[in-house]
């Protein structure tokens, strides 16, 4: 098949076979040709400092030589088996060693799949049906997850608003929606609904940090009302700390989901919990409480090999200090430039994962984490991209591949972006 070198031609070609000309993930107007280290290049040859990093998995950067070596070692031994393999078992052992709530895990292929099974597992264990989630929390593409992720109108809590067509009303009836960082509201909702199987939450919700004591309060309320606590650590796992948000914040959930980093850039995710809960996946032990779970590529040995090597590198001295230092520098670069220009903004998140809100209001939940004028954010991000900085419109992912040269280039792009906003 003839290779096209013009990005516009590729976009036109995509429009013929892909709805909205894309995979549904990111701006379909950019076609990434390749990545190496901290950089990616589009099909026109334009080079970018990459703060998108595949939406999080490429924490070491693209094409890390040690990860490639591990993958190349595995490839001739087999790419997938639909059976147990040593790399998957070794990765399971390392996850259970690292993540406080995990005594056992099950592998799946995507984070959304892991979240779906986590919800089903909580229902199986408790015998209850209702699930509580926080407005604005992202938990994949299941029917339950697509409730009040990004509602375009404010409704009274705990009403669930579907974010997608094709979801039955019966799903909404089993969902309870609460405001993030509001323990009083959460306690009231749990008192009014005695049949909640679980609370599912991102401990760092998108980029909104938990208020001091909030996660501890959620843990206590789950215990009080006999509901399970599910931490969606697809993003935060092995990013906020080696043991994820559980290690950083000192709060241990009953179930957690993991993805992105544990696959080293390959499709792999997992859910884990204590053995008593995970026994529902064991037909011999669970009986009528058995939870069927299988997947053609679950525990894929190539992905497991990449994940194992990635995690080995992350365990090395200074890895997380470097990641946090880089993130803090990126935060400071933006804040200094925006402050000097008198542009109101909030840096929201953690040094390992954050972004800006162009607002004078603190970001504490979905409704407050908004831009005063979304056009400002659009102009700012477009100007960054024009100067060779690639990021999501709502997240910036630092990586261990970022160099001093990357930071200099980013600083120049930030100055250009701030000037573009001033000129609006």
The residue annotated as part of the active site, out of 87, 133, 260, 309, is 260
Q: What is the pLDDT of residues 308-338, one digit of tens each?
A: 999 999 999 999 999 999 999 999 999 999 9
Q: Is 357 an annotated catalytic residue?
A: no
Instruction: Name the average pLDDT for the chain.
Output: 96
138 part of the active site: yes
Of 110, 146, 35, 24, the closest CA to residue 401 belongs to 35
**CATH architecture type of domain 31-63+321-422:** Alpha-Beta Complex (3.90)
133 is catalytic: no
Which residues are CB-neighbours of 272 under 8 A, at least 6 positions away? 95, 96, 99, 101, 102, 103, 104, 105, 106, 255, 256, 258, 278
The model carries a pTM of: 0.96
Q: What is the pLDDT of residues 7-49, one digit of tens each?
A: 999 999 999 999 999 999 999 999 999 999 999 999 999 999 9
Selected catalytic residue, list 182, 232, 355, 365? 232
Class of CATH domain 65-314: alpha beta
Domain ranges in the chain? 31-63+321-422, 65-314
């Amino acid at each position: 098949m003839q290779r096209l070198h013009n990005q516009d031609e590729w976009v036109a070609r995509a429009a013929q076979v892909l709805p909205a000309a894309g995979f549904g993930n990111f701006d379909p107007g950019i076609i990434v040709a390749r990545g190496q280290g901290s950089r990616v290049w589009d099909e026109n040859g334009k080079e970018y400092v990459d703060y998108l990093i595949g939406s999080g998995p490429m924490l070491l950067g693209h094409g890390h030589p040690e990860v490639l070596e591990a993958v190349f070692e595995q490839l001739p031994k087999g790419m997938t088996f639909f059976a147990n393999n040593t790399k998957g078992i070794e990765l399971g052992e390392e996850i259970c060693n690292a993540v406080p709530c995990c005594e056992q895990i099950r592998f799946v292929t995507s984070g959304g799949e892991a979240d779906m099974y986590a919800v089903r597992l909580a229902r199986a264990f408790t015998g209850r049906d209702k699930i509580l989630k926080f407005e604005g929390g992202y938990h994949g593409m299941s029917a339950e997850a697509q409730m009040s992720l990004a509602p375009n109108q404010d409704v009274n809590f705990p009403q669930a608003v579907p974010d997608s067509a094709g979801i039955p009303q019966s799903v909404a009836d089993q969902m309870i929606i609460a405001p993030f960082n509001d323990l009083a509201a959460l306690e009231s909702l749990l008192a009014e609904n005695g049949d909640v199987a679980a609370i599912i939450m991102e401990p760092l919700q998108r980029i909104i940090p938990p208020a001091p004591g909030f996660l501890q309060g959620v843990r206590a309320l789950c215990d009080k009302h006999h509901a399970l606590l599910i931490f969606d650590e697809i993003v935060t796992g092995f990013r906020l700390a080696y043991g994820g948000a559980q290690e950083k914040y000192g709060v241990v959930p009953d179930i957690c989901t993991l993805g992105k980093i544990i696959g080293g850039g390959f499709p792999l995710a997992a859910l884990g919990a204590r053995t008593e809960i995970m026994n529902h996946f064991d037909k011999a032990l669970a009986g009528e409480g058995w939870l069927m779970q299988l997947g053609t590529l679950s525990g894929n040995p190539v992905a497991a090999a990449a994940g194992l090597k990635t995690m080995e590198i992350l365990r090395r001295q200074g890895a997380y200090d470097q990641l946090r230092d880089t993130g803090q520098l990126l935060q400071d670069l933006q804040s200094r430039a925006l402050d000097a220009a008198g542009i109101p903004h909030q840096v929201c998140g953690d040094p390992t994962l954050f972004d800006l809100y162009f607002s004078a209001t603190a970001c504490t939940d979905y409704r407050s984490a908004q831009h005063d004028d979304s056009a400002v954010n659009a102009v700012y991000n477009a100007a960054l991209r024009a100067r060779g900085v690639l990021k999501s419109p709502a997240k910036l992912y630092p990586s261990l591949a970022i160099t001093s040269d990357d930071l200099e280039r980013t600083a120049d792009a930030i100055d250009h972006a701030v000037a573009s906003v001033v000129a609006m």
